[in-house]
Structure 1
Amino acid sequence: MRKQERHKLLKQLLVENIIYRQEDLVNLLTERGIEVTQATISRDIKQLQLVKVPLSNGSYRYTLPSEKEVDASVKLAKTIQDAYIDSDVHHEMCMLKVQPGNGPTVSSLIDQMQYSEIFACISDDDTVIIFNRSEKDALQMHEKIMQMIDAKKQSRR
């Protein structure tokens, strides 16, 4: 099962069930014939930005973040505008150099966008590597990033 499909199912499970622990999500997915590890669920929780809220009995449950949070595309554009240093494309890869400390945030936001042209995205402290599905996709992704940066330049005029 692809990550996007799993995320959609996890959201559905959160609406239909009270989920106390990560293990509960693993078990619900296993009941549906979907084998995942606790580590995968942990990453999914981070990417979906799930939160634990208190219940009246003193326990906590996972829930989706409130809708009033800023859209991931807005966060991504702002973060790239503020942190961007340089970028380049090589074959199916797009590389971003960002201010130190911003690599994981940019990578996570790119993952949240679920761009169809992206196979995977990894980062360290100041570098993000986007693995695209094709060379054409890498060029398109680079163009999207450049448009985000250009939007800031144009708003200053």
Structure 2
Amino acid sequence: MKKKERHQLLRQLVQQEVIQKQEDFVDILQKRGIDITQATISRDIKELQLIKVPAQEGGYQYNLPPEMNYNISKKLARLMKDAFVSIDTQKEFVLIKTLPGNAFALGTLIETAKYQEVFGCISGDDTVLIICRDEDSAERFQRRIISFI
């Protein structure tokens, strides 16, 4: 697994699960078939600037740094201005083309934003396919994205 993909997965994990120790990351990733060491996780935590916050069950858990927890719209707008190439719709599908290397981040931001129109998305290197709930949702979502440009 490439570093960028691993970092994205770690970001998702801290948002979805209670992870209290570096070993928790290692265990979760190994259960998913990803061979990883605690030393690699330690470096990733530093690079991602993960922080520990009080956990509801007691103790502490890893979390994203504060600036990553909010203002998705601002990040989405900045990414769209910097990397947008084109957008098109067909029925309930929206296809966004970006400069190479930017689509994965865009797809992650779209999914993190949890837009009502979006059922899910698939990201590649320079393309994001967004599956909307219906044709009207696809048109609304396209207008939303264009407003960021």
Into which bin does the TM-score normalised by the smaller protein fall?
Answer: 0.5 to 0.7
In the other structure, the counterpart of 2:108 is 108
The code of the aligned residue for 1:64 comes to N
Q: Which deviations, in whole Å up to 9, do the C-alpha atoms of 1:39-82 show, x marking residues without a partner?
A: 4xxxxxxxxx89376xxxxxxx7511122346222111110111
Change (3 A) 1:66 1:127: same
SS of equivalent residue, structure 1 residue 68 = helix
Q: Which residue of 2 aligns with 1:58?
A: none
CA distance in structure 2 between the aligned counterparts of 1:142 and 1:125, rounded to whole angstroms: 20
TM-score relative to the length of structure 1: 0.60
Amino acid at match of 2:101: G
Whether the 8 Å CA contact 2:92–2:133 is kept in 1: the answer is yes
Distance 2:131 2:49 in 1: 26
Q: Which has the larger radius of gyration?
A: 1
Note if 1:67 corresponds to 2:66. Answer: yes
Deviation at 1:89, TM superposition (A): 0.5
Aligned-pair Cα RMSD in Å: 3.2
Q: Please say if residues 50 and 63 of structure 1, whose CA atoms lie closer than 8 Å, have aligned partners that are also in contact.
A: no
- 2 CA distance for matches of 1:38 and 1:22? 10
The gaps in structure 2 that reach 5 residues or longer are 1-12, 33-47, 53-59
Deviation of the 1:23 alpha carbon: 7.3
Amino acid in structure 1 at the alignment position of 2:66: E
> Paired residue for 1:30?
none
Q: Report the secondary structure of 1:21's partner residue.
A: helix
Contact 1:51/1:63 (8 A) holds in 2: yes
Could you say which residue in structure 2 is the equivalent of 1:133? 133
Identity of aligned residues (%): 28
- 5+ residue gaps, structure 1, are 1-6, 27-36, 40-48, 54-60, 150-157
- Paired residue for 2:93? 93
> What is the number of residues matched between the two proteins?
114
Partner of 2:24: 21
Report the secondary structure of 1:116's partner residue. coil
Task: Write out per-residue CA displacement over residues 73-103 of structure 1, whole angstroms, 9 at most, x where no aligned residue.
Answer: 2111110111111110000000011111111
Match of 2:36 in 1: none
One-letter amino acid of the structure 2 residue matched with residue 66 of structure 1? P
Distance across 2 between alignment mates of 1:112 and 1:50: 18
